[in-house]
Amino acid sequence: MADTSLTLISHPLCPFVQRAAIVLLEKGVPFDRIDVDLTAKPDWFLALSPTGKVPLLKVSQADGPDAVLFESMVICEYLEESLGGVGLYPVDALSRARLRGWIEFGTATLADAWHFLNAKDHPTADAKQAAFRDRLQRLEAVLVEGPYFSGAAFGMVDAVFAPLFRYFDILGPTVSQPIFEDLPRVTTWRTALAGRQSVVAAVAGDYAERFQQHLRQHQALLAN
């Protein structure tokens, strides 16, 4: 991709943007990043994004027009197929299909976690916490070797779950301990992801402060 430049159009807090950023960082490819205020979306952004959401990946080519990709996993799959570096999927088609299933599971898990994190009342928080923990228990049952989802090698499933686990590192043990207790494999995985350089670098240095500010602005129970 020597004649191609990449621009990730993002929002500082978006977990779906982080997926793409992690893959780009794992591939070791330079890219530009432009953050968008999603509360006041600029016209140029709306012209590029059919859904009005991030991430977008602008692919600028020396020998052709710019292309814009949307949807995080579409972007991640493109990067996997077009960039060099260590592959984030196994070669075997059946194994790849299995992992893509867990990526879909990861998106649903993120939804449960997000609703728990943003809950404004105790019944909602309790229900979503239970749903999230149930999903973690399912993961505990399939994780065998660590430190990553498929073993020693970091892969696409790890890029999907890392932004989700990051929230609970910010909130600390009072919140996270009841959710992750008695889940040793998930805990080992979560710790390994937190220390991965691509995961660390996928967000800005003020990410934790921004996330806590988000909780306060939305009057979430966890902001207290």
Residues in contact with 114: Cβ distance below 8 Å, sequence separation at least 6, in sequence order = none
Q: At what angle do helices 156-171 and 15-27 cross, to 10 degrees?
A: 120
Catalytic residues: 14
Task: Count the alpha carbons within 13 Å of 210 in the hemisphere toward its beta carbon.
Answer: 10
* Nearest C-alpha neighbor of 108 from the set 87, 83, 135, 71: 135
Q: What is the DSSP string of 7-20?
A: EEEE-TT-HHHHHH
- What is the distance between the alpha carbons of residues 69 and 96, in angstroms, rounded to a whole number? 22
What letter does residue 151 receive in the DSSP assignment? B
* Nearest C-alpha neighbor of 110 from the set 141, 145, 73: 73
Helix locations, 66-220, DSSP H: 72-82, 93-117, 122-142, 156-171, 173-180, 184-195, 197-201, 207-217
